[in-house]
């Protein structure tokens, strides 16, 4: 389908949705870090009030866990409204039916995710909180996918293509392993107090194993992008650079999370290390642990961007007709 | 939670555990809905222990009620490591060094009371508030900021005390009472069904159990405080050593302390090493490990012997390493008084023994000698003083 009047608005709205979901993931992560999931005992109301009518002073000056939990709800509602707007704009301006479907799928996933968060409160179910924590990054990834497929790059014609079969599968492998890694991390963060120590040890070992697998995949796609056949692919340089940076940051945050939660190794090396005392629900602890979880989401989203772009420029795939980039 | 435990009771637990757990549930309730045993509630001596408000706030799942009162504090801050019943086997336990404390033994390392006595509530508050440097025990001082957190730490401490009493009763029932019952003949330790059908039989059963409950709880009422015998001329502040005469006096005492440290009476160097760097020759285990290894005829150094028991949820035996005193980090407190207490009373549950002292031990340490040891430990922990001590040639 040829459409030379491709509107920029679906892309702009998609960016707005994705950019708003990321801080939502941060706040959601902070809710888990602070164990604030049950700071508000009811849903969809907040302490008996309509969520949107909850007194500002009670929210701002109340306990910190209530502040972030109620804030998480308000921000999530805002994301929902933006997603409705995206669907409306896609309905009016987006000519491709499958992209419109993708926008509605995004809205649907945001609604399901919101309900999951609500049911976690109504049933006081930590397992649902864990599922909620796993779905959040997937919703973010879906929003990122909408950004990619509505972007001018996606429509640009005459961009070089390649036949990078193994590159494509490496990118998919990276995305899948990053999602698996995030699910394992969510299990660790939502561990039940009666979970057996052996199960926790197994989870930690799996998390470390997948950290190595994700690292290998990132290095793999970086190496693949430099191969003769793939060097001509445009638009994959920055996702790969971002992945390499995020990987380094994520490994640092992972080590930091361990230190913030459990202890410093090698305390005998120096008296200052021996003096290190963990601070429960501390300021830095919250930033590091929540940052580790949020960076995991960012890795998934970036890996998905890379995957979509590599697949888009694969000469084996019959693309729909593209339009020229605006000059 | 309760359903899971009940299911465990029927499927996994042995007959002895089954008997013990049924008594515990009746006496102490469940982790979601705990209560104090009636026998303690009605005992006027136990008034200081019974804090139902603390149970209400600390137990159960993490949540805020409609009045914004936070509950489930123990599960929020402690259970991940110490376990939901305080048995020291929370999910993270196997990865920590040292392992989280198992409250059921009723032994606590860092306290202001005499050897083998229970800690005071203030001791538990201090450990919770400041944490333990170099371990996974966090400082929870963040919880005392803000109007909504004012009472969280004493509440956690009171709940730890409750769990410890509950756990010690559990241990004693299993070790002292249940073995005297003929389980094969259908005899029961504590049959709740008899409450209605045969009240007199139930009362007889309960009175034996209650005896143990009272015995355990009484130990927590005003435990005997450690009395520090002050020897003023030997009490120094290592941070205020500018005066040469004072410094000389300190080094003099510390040099005597070094001799004692390396000598046979105090014998500190056997575990802490001659240089106090923790590299002594003796390898020992703490009492929590010895309970299920050495005392059960199992060699904790022989993996073949202890490995099968891991299936029961026991953690790999970890040797109790002596502290490297050169780090200057003393978990029981770095003040001269705290060190004095650790030397005089030892550290409960660990291989660190109480010092042999005069007059009860003929060749034991005198009070002055204990202060000399305190000063040597302080010097070891302060690099500049440690260096001075190496070159100090003051006459003894």
pLDDT tens per residue, range B31-53: 999 999 999 999 998 988 998 88
Q: What is the structure's pLDDT at A116? A: 97
Nearest CA in chain A to B96: A262
Q: What is the structure's pLDDT at A2? A: 41
Q: What is the structure's pLDDT at B230? A: 77
% of chain B with per-residue pLDDT over 70: 94
Whether the CB-CB separation of A297 and B354 falls below 8 Å is answered with: no
Q: What is the structure's pLDDT at A44? A: 96
User: What residue spans of chain A are helical by DSSP H?
Assistant: 9-33, 56-60, 64-93, 97-122, 126-149, 152-155, 165-189, 197-225, 237-261, 271-274, 283-312
Interface contact B278-A268, CB threshold 8 A:
yes
Nearest CA in chain A to B148: A63
Best A277, A282, A289 member to test B by mutation, with max B CBs in 10 Å, is A277
Q: Which residues of B touch A268 (CB under 8 A)?
A: 278, 324, 327
Considering only CB atoms, A41 lies closest to which of B65, B91, B327, namely B65
Output the CATH code of domain B232-284+320-391: 1.10.760.10
Average pLDDT over residues B373-390: 93
Q: What is the structure's pLDDT at A268? A: 79
Give me the interface pTM, i.e. the ipTM.
Answer: 0.90
Cβ neighbours, 10 Å, residue B161:
23
Considering only CB atoms, B136 lies closest to which of A197, A199, A263, namely A263
3-class DSSP state of A316: coil
Considering only CB atoms, B61 lies closest to which of A39, A65, A124, namely A124
pLDDT at B13 over 60: no
B66 touches chain A (CB under 8 A): yes
Nearest CA in chain A to B88: A197
Q: What is the structure's pLDDT at B359? A: 85
B residues 311..330 contacting A (CB < 8 A)? 313, 315, 324, 326-329
Nearest CA in chain A to B64: A39
Whether the CB-CB separation of A274 and B332 falls below 8 Å is answered with: no
CA-based nearest distance A167→chain B, Å: 38
pLDDT tens per residue, range B159-212: 999 999 999 999 998 888 777 777 777 778 888 888 888 889 889 889 999 999
pLDDT at B270 over 60: yes
Interface contact A194-B1, CB threshold 8 A:
yes
pLDDT tens per residue, range B82-120: 999 999 999 999 999 999 999 999 999 999 999 999 999
Q: Where do the domains of chain A lie? A: 1-157, 160-317
Considering only CB atoms, A35 lies closest to which of B62, B92, B146, namely B62
Best B32, B134, B324, B378 member to test A by mutation, with max A CBs in 10 Å, is B134
B94 touches chain A (CB under 8 A): yes
3-class DSSP state of A7: coil
Q: Where do the domains of chain B lie? A: 2-218, 232-284+320-391
Tokens of B373: 């040891």
CA distance A74 to A52: 7
Q: What is the structure's pLDDT at B9? A: 41
Interface contact A41-B133, CB threshold 8 A:
no
CA-based nearest distance B96→chain A, Å: 7
Nearest CA in chain B to A191: B91
Place of tokens 């009047």: A5
Residue B8 banded pLDDT, cuts 50, 70, 90: very low
Interface contact B95-A200, CB threshold 8 A:
yes
pLDDT at B259 over 90: yes
Q: Which residues of A touch B315 (CB under 8 A)?
A: 197
Considering only CB atoms, B91 lies closest to which of A35, A197, A278, namely A197
Range of lowest pLDDT (A11-20, B331-340, B387-396):
B387-396
Q: What is the structure's pLDDT at A320? A: 46
Residues of chain A with pLDDT under 70: 1-5, 160, 162-164, 233-234, 315-327
**b/e sequence B347-382, b meaning 16+ C-beta within 10 Å:** bbbbbbeebebeeeeeeebebebbbbbbbbbbbbbb
């Amino acid at each position: 389908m040829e459409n030379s009047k491709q509107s920029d608005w679906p892309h702009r709205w998609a960016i707005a949705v994705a950019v708003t979901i990321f801080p939502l993931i941060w706040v959601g992560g902070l809710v888990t870090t602070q164990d604030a999931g049950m700071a508000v005992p009811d849903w969809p109301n907040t302490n008996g009030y309509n969520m949107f009518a909850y007194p500002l002073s009670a929210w701002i000056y109340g306990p910190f866990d209530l502040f972030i939990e109620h804030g998480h709800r308000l921000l999530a509602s805002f994301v929902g409204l933006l997603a409705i707007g995206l669907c409306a704009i896609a309905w009016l301006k987006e000519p491709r039916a499958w992209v419109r479907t993708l926008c509605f799928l995004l809205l649907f996933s945001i609604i399901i995710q919101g309900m999951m968060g609500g049911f976690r409160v109504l049933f006081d179910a930590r397992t649902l909180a864990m599922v909620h924590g796993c779905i959040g990054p997937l919703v973010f990834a879906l929003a990122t996918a909408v950004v990619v497929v509505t972007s001018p790059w996606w429509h640009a014609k005459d961009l070089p293509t390649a036949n990078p079969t193994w590159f494509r599968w490496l990118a998919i492998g990276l995305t899948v392993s990053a999602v698996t890694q995030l699910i394992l991390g969510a299990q660790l963060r939502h561990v039940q107090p009666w979970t057996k120590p052996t199960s926790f040890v197994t989870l930690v070992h799996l998390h470390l194993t997948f950290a190595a697998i994700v690292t290998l995949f990132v290095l793999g796609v970086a190496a693949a992008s430099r191969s003769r056949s793939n060097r001509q692919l445009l638009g994959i340089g920055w996702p790969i650079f971002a992945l390499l940076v995020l990987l380094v940051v994520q490994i640092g945050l992972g080590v930091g999370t361990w230190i913030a939660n459990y202890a410093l190794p090698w305390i005998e090396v120096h008296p200052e290390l021996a003096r290190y005392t963990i601070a429960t629900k501390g300021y830095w602890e919250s930033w590091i642990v929540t940052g580790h979880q949020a960076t995991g989401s960012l890795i998934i989203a970036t890996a998905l961007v890379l995957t979509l772009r590599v697949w888009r420029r694969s000469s084996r795939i019959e693309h729909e007709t593209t339009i020229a980039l605006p000059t | 939670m309760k359903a899971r435990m009940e299911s465990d009771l029927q499927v996994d637990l042995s007959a002895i555990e089954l008997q013990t757990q049924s008594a515990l549930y009746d006496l102490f309730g469940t982790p979601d809905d705990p209560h104090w045993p009636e026998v303690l509630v009605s005992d006027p001596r136990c008034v200081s222990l019974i804090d139902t408000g603390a149970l209400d706030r600390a137990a159960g799942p993490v949540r805020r009620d409609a009045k914004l009162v936070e509950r489930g504090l123990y599960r929020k801050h402690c259970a991940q490591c110490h376990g939901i019943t305080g048995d020291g086997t929370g999910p993270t336990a196997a990865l920590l060094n040292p392992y989280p404390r198992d409250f059921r033994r009723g032994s606590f390392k860092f306290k202001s009371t005499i050897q083998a006595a229970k800690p005071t509530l203030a001791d538990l508050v201090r450990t919770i508030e400041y944490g333990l440097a170099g371990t996974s025990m966090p400082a929870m001082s963040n919880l005392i900021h803000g109007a909504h957190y004012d009472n969280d730490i004493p509440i956690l401490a009171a709940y730890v005390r409750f769990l410890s009493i509950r756990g010690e009763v559990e241990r004693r029932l299993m070790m002292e009472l249940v073995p005297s019952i003929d389980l094969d003949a259908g005899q029961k330790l504590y049959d709740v069904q008899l409450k209605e059908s045969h009240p007199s039989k139930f009362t007889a059963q309960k009175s034996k159990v209650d005896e143990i409950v009272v015995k355990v709880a009484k130990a927590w009422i005003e435990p005997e405080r450690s009395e520090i015998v002050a020897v003023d001329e030997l009490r120094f502040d290592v941070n205020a050593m500018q005066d040469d005469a004072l410094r000389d006096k300190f080094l003099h005492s510390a040099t005597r302390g070094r001799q004692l440290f390396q000598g046979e009476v105090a014998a500190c160097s056997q575990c802490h090493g001659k240089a106090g760097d923790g590299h002594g020759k003796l390898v020992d285990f703490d009492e929590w490990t010895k309970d299920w290894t050495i005392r059960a005829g199992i060699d904790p150094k022989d993996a073949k012997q202890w490995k099968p028991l891991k299936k029961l949820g026991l953690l790999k035996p970890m040797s109790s390493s002596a502290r490297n005193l050169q780090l200057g980090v003393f978990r029981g407190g770095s003040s001269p008084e705290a060190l004095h207490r650790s030397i005089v009373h030892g550290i409960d549950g660990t291989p660190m023994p109480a010092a042999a002292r005069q007059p009860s031990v003929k060749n034991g340490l005198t009070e002055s000698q204990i202060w000399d040891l305190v000063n040597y430990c302080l010097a070891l922990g302060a690099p500049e003083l440690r260096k001075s001590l190496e070159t100090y040639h003051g006459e003894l």
